[in-house]
Amino acid sequence: MTAIRATNLSKRYGKTMAVTDLSFDVDPGRVTGFLGPNGAGKSTTMRMVLGLDHPSGGSVLVDGKPYQELRHPLRKVGALLDAKAVHGGRSARNHLLAIAQSNGIPAARVEEVLELVGLGNVAGRRVGGFSLGMSQRLGIAAALLGDPEILLFDEPVNGLDPDGILWIRTLMRGLAAEGRTVFVSSHLMSEMSQTADHLIVIGKGRLIADTSVPEFIGRSSQGYVLVRSPRLAEVAELVKVGELHTDHLRVTGVSPLEIGTMTARAGLPLEELTFVKPSLEAAYMELTKDSLEYTS
Ligand SMILES: Nc1ncnc2c1ncn2[C@@H]1O[C@H](COP(=O)(O)OP(=O)(O)OP(=O)(O)O)[C@@H](O)[C@H]1O
């Protein structure tokens, strides 16, 4: 069964359409990356999944039900939204105990999750003094408290050092390998390509792609051939379809072999003839270029 199903989901804030007619499924047993530029509507969508915001149109179901109708929500869904949004005066342990108590989760589970996220040694310390990395770990501990089947992480690697990033990535992959549903948002393609099995890409609140990582690259441009020559203008004239830059020619739709054959016949020397594959980052930039809220 699909864990999360959004159907024609929309959210309007005054004049802004944060999410428009968005439909997608998130399935168990894999990491689904929720990717989009800043302001694309990822957090808004996640808040609607968790019943923290009401859709202006359409619906989103968790395990077949609206979030509000789940009998034990924390045992079904765990979420990390804003890691810094915790009561700073409490210790990490007391913060988790308060959540556990109000959700009928045994206190022993608090110690388990503290160990799981590596905060066992600092459990008695005030949360207010935690670094961003420690706060992220605490947020993840809270998400894992109810041992939920479904996990939502909103930009979990923001501001983390490489060790922290690797830790979260390994954790998410492990949770998916246990058969859980992991739905994680990011605005970084590079991060998603190393973590996700599947991608849901949005821009300006609309669905751009719902695909596997290899399919995603395949859909975008087919790459190009980079040509350098001491007689570049003549090569450009011969190849005809190339885009001439100061020190090289970019050719799409003609293979390196065809270009090499043409230039050899014409007696034109080549310094470089390289097929440049589109990178994941380039594919993402190309797909989302029309949907950036702000451009630099
Ligand atoms: N409470 C709100 N009131 C008014 N506008 C909002 C509100 N929340 C979000 N928006 C607007 O909705 C759009 C989507 O925002 P959202 O935070 O969901 O995007 P995002 O993809 O999570 O971006 P980011 O990566 O920057 O967090 C933006 O234009 C944002 O300004």
- pLDDT, tens digit (0-9, with 9 covering 90-100), for 184-195: 999 888 788 888
Residue 50 pLDDT exceeds 80: yes
Residue 231 pLDDT exceeds 90: yes
> What is the number of the ligand 1 atom nearest to the C-alpha of 293?
29
Q: Is the CB of 20 under 6 A from ligand 1?
A: no
Task: Please give the pLDDT value at position 202.
Answer: 93
Q: Check whether residue 209 and residue 228 sit in a common domain.
A: no
Residue having the nearest C-alpha atom to atom 7 of ligand 1 = 13
β pairing state of 4-13 and 57-62: antiparallel
Task: Please give the pLDDT value at position 296.
Answer: 45
- What does the alpha-carbon distance between residue 1 and residue 112 come to, in Å, rounded to a whole number? 29
Q: Check whether residue 166 and residue 58 sit in a common domain.
A: yes
Q: Is the CB of 18 under 6 A from ligand 1?
A: yes
Say how many Å lie between the first and final Cα of the chain, rounded: 42
> How many angstroms does the Cα of residue 204 sit away from the middle of ligand 1?
10
Taking residues 213-232, what's their average pLDDT? 82
Q: Check whether residue 12 and residue 123 sit in a common domain.
A: yes
Q: Check whether residue 249 and residue 102 sit in a common domain.
A: no
Q: Check whether residue 66 and residue 173 sit in a common domain.
A: yes
Dihedral (C-alpha) 260, 263, 269, 274: value to the nearest 10 degrees? -30
Q: Is the CB of 203 under 6 A from ligand 1?
A: no
Task: Please give the pLDDT value at position 270.
Answer: 97
Tell me the C-alpha to C-alpha distance, in Å, between residue 140 and each of 39, 63, 135, 202, 283. 23, 21, 9, 25, 31
Q: Is the CB of 148 under 6 A from ligand 1?
A: no
Which residues are within 8 A (CB) of 69 and not within 5 positions of it... i.e. 6 or more apart? none
> How many angstroms does the Cα of residue 115 sit away from the middle of ligand 1?
34
ipTM of the complex: 0.93
Tell me the C-alpha to C-alpha distance, in Å, between residue 237 and each of 4, 234, 280. 54, 5, 31
Q: pLDDT tier at 292 (50, 70, 90 boundaries)?
A: low
Q: Check whether residue 256 and residue 113 sit in a common domain.
A: no
The answer to whether residue 156 sits within a structural domain is yes
Taking residues 259-283, what's their average pLDDT? 89
Residues above pLDDT 70, as percent of the chain: 94
Residue 28 pLDDT exceeds 50: yes
Dihedral-angle region of residue 188 (phi above 0 means left; psi in -120 to 50 means alpha; beta otherwise)? beta
Task: Please give the pLDDT value at position 164.
Answer: 87
> What's the pTM value of the predicted model, to 2 decimals?
0.81
**Domain total for the chain?**
2
Is the Cβ–Cβ distance between 31 and 172 less than 8 Å? yes
Is the Cβ–Cβ distance between 55 and 11 less than 8 Å? yes
Domain region containing 230: 224-277
Q: Check whether residue 15 and residue 139 sit in a common domain.
A: yes
Task: Please give the pLDDT value at position 220.
Answer: 62
Residue 178 maps to which CATH number? Answer: 3.40.50.300
> What is the number of the ligand 1 atom nearest to the C-alpha of 202?
21
Taking residues 6-15, what's their average pLDDT? 96
Residue 282 pLDDT exceeds 90: no
> How many angstroms does the Cα of residue 33 sit away from the middle of ligand 1?
18
> What is the number of the ligand 1 atom nearest to the C-alpha of 43?
22
Pocket test for ligand 1, best of 22, 44, 81 (most atoms within 8 A of CB): 44
Task: Please give the pLDDT value at position 295.
Answer: 46
Is the Cβ–Cβ distance between 96 and 125 less than 8 Å? no
Mean pLDDT of the chain: 90
- What does the alpha-carbon distance between residue 285 and residue 213 come to, in Å, rounded to a whole number? 14
Q: Check whether residue 92 and residue 230 sit in a common domain.
A: no
Q: pLDDT tier at 65 (50, 70, 90 boundaries)?
A: very high
Residue 286 pLDDT exceeds 80: no
Task: Please give the pLDDT value at position 87.
Answer: 72
Which residues are within 8 A (CB) of 268 and not within 5 positions of it... i.e. 6 or more apart? 229, 231, 234, 235, 238
Is the Cβ–Cβ distance between 87 and 129 less than 8 Å? no
